[in-house]
């Protein structure tokens, strides 16, 4: 069983429609959709926006379905200058940029009690993701890098530069590191897969509205092929 988590309804709805043998399972506030995609047993769920929603949903998914893998799909803002709209960022690792316990000598982003600064994705999944995107989206690039997560929509050049300088971030979003944290605590391999919808700068909100639908469309096409190869 593979768990697929998206933040927004739009990110999950298209995949749910394509599920064969679909079954809806309600648990607490979550609607899980169990079925088959690209020949694989999957369970899909919309977590909602933000780290708390993402973490709670991930643990609920694990408790109910015991997935072998967890994939977080969706869209993100570019931080690295070489990353552009509709490129794919694949998480080498993920961290929470708004965690600050530096008063007690922890590095920025480090959650006390966790083993490392960030959470490492499964290396095998990274290789597969690059291969798939090169084949189905040859006009756009793939980047393996650091996904940084915080409870804000980044839309300023100043914040973008801070995230690049401080964390060497590749992209930013609002759920991935929380999902990665819970997957890691449960010993479940994960990967975060984010198509770029904006460049996290002063024009981000306007650009996001223009490219959100295109980025989600690419997410669906990519995920169908990615599942075939996992």
* Domain spans, the chain: 2-229
Q: What is the pTM of this model?
A: 0.94
Residue 204's pLDDT is what?
47
What is the model's pLDDT at position 206?
47
Low-confidence ranges of the chain (pLDDT < 50): 204, 206
Out of 93, 173, 175, 198, pick the active-site residue. Answer: 198
Question: Residue 198 catalytic?
Answer: yes
Dist. CA 19–CA 38, nearest whole Å:
9
- Please tell me which residue in 11, 173, 175, 199 is annotated as part of the active site: 11
E-assigned strands of the chain? 2-6, 20-27, 30-37, 40-46, 69-78, 88-96, 119-120, 142-149, 171-173, 190-198
d(CA 204, CA 215): 14
Has 87 been annotated as catalytic?
no
Which helix (H) or strand (E) element contains residue 179? helix 176-185
- Please check whether residue 129 is in contact with residue 183, taking contact to mean a CB–CB distance below 8 angstroms: no
Question: What is the architecture, at CATH level 2, of domain 2-229?
Answer: 3-Layer(aba) Sandwich (3.40)
Q: Name every residue whose Cβ is closer than 8 Å to that of residue 106 and which is 6 or more positions away in sequence.
A: 112
Contact assessment for residue 86 and residue 142, using Cβ atoms and an 8 Å cutoff: no
């Amino acid at each position: 069983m593979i768990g697929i988590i998206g933040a927004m309804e739009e990110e999950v709805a298209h995949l749910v429609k394509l599920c064969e043998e679909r079954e809806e399972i309600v648990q607490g506030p979550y609607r899980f959709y169990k079925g088959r995609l690209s020949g694989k047993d999957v369970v899909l769920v919309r977590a909602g926006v933000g780290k708390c929603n993402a973490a709670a949903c991930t643990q609920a998914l694990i408790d109910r379905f015991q997935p072998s893998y967890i994939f977080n799909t969706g869209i993100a803002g570019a931080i690295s200058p070489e990353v552009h709209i509709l490129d794919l960022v694949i998480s080498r690792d993920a961290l929470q940029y708004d965690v600050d316990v530096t008063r007690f000598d922890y590095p920025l982003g480090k959650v006390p009690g966790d083993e490392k600064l960030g959470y490492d994705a499964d290396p095998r999944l990274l290789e597969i993701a690059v291969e798939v995107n090169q084949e189905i989206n040859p006009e756009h690039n793939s980047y393996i890098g650091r996904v940084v997560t915080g409870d804000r929509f980044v839309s300023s050049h100043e914040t973008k530069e801070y995230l690049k300088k401080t964390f060497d971030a590749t992209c930013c979003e609002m759920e991935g590191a929380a999902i990665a944290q819970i997957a890691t605590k449960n010993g479940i391999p994960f990967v975060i897969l984010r198509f770029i919808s904006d460049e996290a700068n002063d024009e981000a909100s306007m650009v996001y509205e223009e490219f959100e639908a295109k980025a989600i469309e690419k997410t669906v096409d990519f995920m169908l092929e990615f599942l075939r190869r996992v």
